Structure 1
Amino acid sequence: MADLAAAISTSLKAALEAEVTRTRGTTADQFNDTPSPTDLQQFVYLANDVVDLLETAMRELERDREAAKASLAKASIILQSETARRSGANGSKAGGLAGWQIARVQAFIDENLHCTIHIRDLSAVARISAAHFSRSFKRAVGEPPHAHLMRKRLERACHLMMTGAASLSEIAFSVGFSDQAHLCRLFKQAFGQRPADWRRDFESRRG
């Protein structure tokens, strides 16, 4: 794992050096355009995030290998998302979020579903204003942040109902709903039946 962390760190350093060179215009003939100061700033944010994750992985390598693996996985996701964005492979729309911003926001949501999450929290993760974030998120993901968050909560609730025996009340709180009634109301709107019925049908199909 130390070799993997070192390899990612080396790749990141090379990417940073290439970006600085490109911005200075010394390799402009290799690219269709020159990054704006904002684009470069976002790249620096991304690089700092990945460096922090790598440093965490190195610290936890001997003490907590699972934590180290999680940090390396996040670093990999961020780098892959940014690579896809810069190559145009992810089909990101003009005015939408960058790949690294989407990766950070999704990771934050997944890690904090049990908490109350505000737009200002997500915009802070993406490092843009709340108003800009809401517009850009919808353009990039295809749905408003609140609708996306509710969908993620319901998906996690389904997963918990399929894989455990926790009560609906416990599940509701664990995925960030105010109470069981809140979960039931949104679940029925989304899936057309109450979560208790959905769970019973799933268990009967599973045999």
Structure 2
Amino acid sequence: MTPTLARTPPLAEIARIPELIEGAQRFLDEDVHMARHYLERISALFAPAPSGPIYLAERPAPPPAPVKGGLAAWQMQKVLAYVESHLDKTLSTEELAGVTRLSTGHFCRAFKASMGETPHGFIMRQRIRRAQILMVQSRETLSQIAIACGLTDQAHLTRLFRRTTGTTPMQWRRHWQGEI
């Protein structure tokens, strides 16, 4: 059985469509870049399946112009680099706030304004993106991949993966390893 990986978004993503539309409407007059960001996220849910592996957890680059109430460009770059280099470890919002030299509360609000999602949601999606890359590029077990992505075990990876992509890691891996 080949899993459906695009065209029909996972239920968790379908549930977020009203939130994404609201975000696009909210920023339409204030910040065209951020409105475009929300609209691209919505359209990505319904895009046809590409020919190569798709990494559903990928996100478009943050908008080039800083968002009012959001992180400054240097703060965003530092946070993204820090997350990428520490995905195999436990990451807390306190750590990320320290990287940006902001209080935890202010950091969380600014991050959400800039990225359209919470720091935790972003980190979890990046963990799934890394897991997808490792599943296609290596022969490591799902348990090893889960640990390499900062998750506790294979069950944690499977729960999070299914919630994010709508399929299990094993189904996703079998489908895309057969394509390569």
Instruction: Give 2:79's aligned residue.
Output: 105
The structure with the largest helix share of the pair is 1
Distance 1:199 1:100 in 2: 36
CA shift at 1:91, angstroms? 2.4
When normalised by structure 1's length, the TM-score is 0.56
Task: Return the match for 1:158 from 132, 135, 138.
Answer: 132
Q: Please say if 1:189 is aligned against 2:163.
A: yes
CA shift at 1:184, angstroms? 0.2
Distance 1:172 1:127 in 2: 30
1:77-128 deviations in Å (ceiling 9; x for gaps) = xxxxxxxxxxxx8222111000000000011101100100000000000100
Map 1:112-151; keep pairs closer than 5 Å.
112-151=86-125
**Pair member with larger Rg:** 1
Distance 2:88 2:164 in 1: 20
1:54-74 deviations in Å (ceiling 9; x for gaps) = xxxxxxxxxxxxxxxxxxxxx
Task: Return the match for 1:199 from 157, 173, 176.
Answer: 173
Identity of aligned residues (%): 41
Task: Return the match for 1:180 from 154, 159, 167.
Answer: 154
1:170-191 deviations in Å (ceiling 9; x for gaps) = 0000110011100000101111
1:30-63 deviations in Å (ceiling 9; x for gaps) = xxxxxxxxxxxxxxxxxxxxxxxxxxxxxxxxxx
Instruction: Give 1:169's aligned residue.
Output: 143
Structure 1: stretches of 5+ with no match in the other structure: 1-88
Instruction: Give 2:18's aligned residue.
Output: none
Letter in 1 for 2:68: A
1:125-155 deviations in Å (ceiling 9; x for gaps) = 0100000000000001111000000000000
Count of residue pairs brought into register by the alignment: 118
Which is bigger in relative contact order (C-alpha 8 A, separation at least 6)?
2
Q: Secondary structure at the match of 2:68?
A: coil
CA shift at 1:203, angstroms? 1.3
Distance 2:167 2:89 in 1: 25
Distance 2:123 2:73 in 1: 18
Instruction: Give 1:25's aligned residue.
Output: none
Distance 2:73 2:101 in 1: 13
Structure 2: stretches of 5+ with no match in the other structure: 1-62
Letter in 2 for 1:124: G
Distance 2:149 2:130 in 1: 7
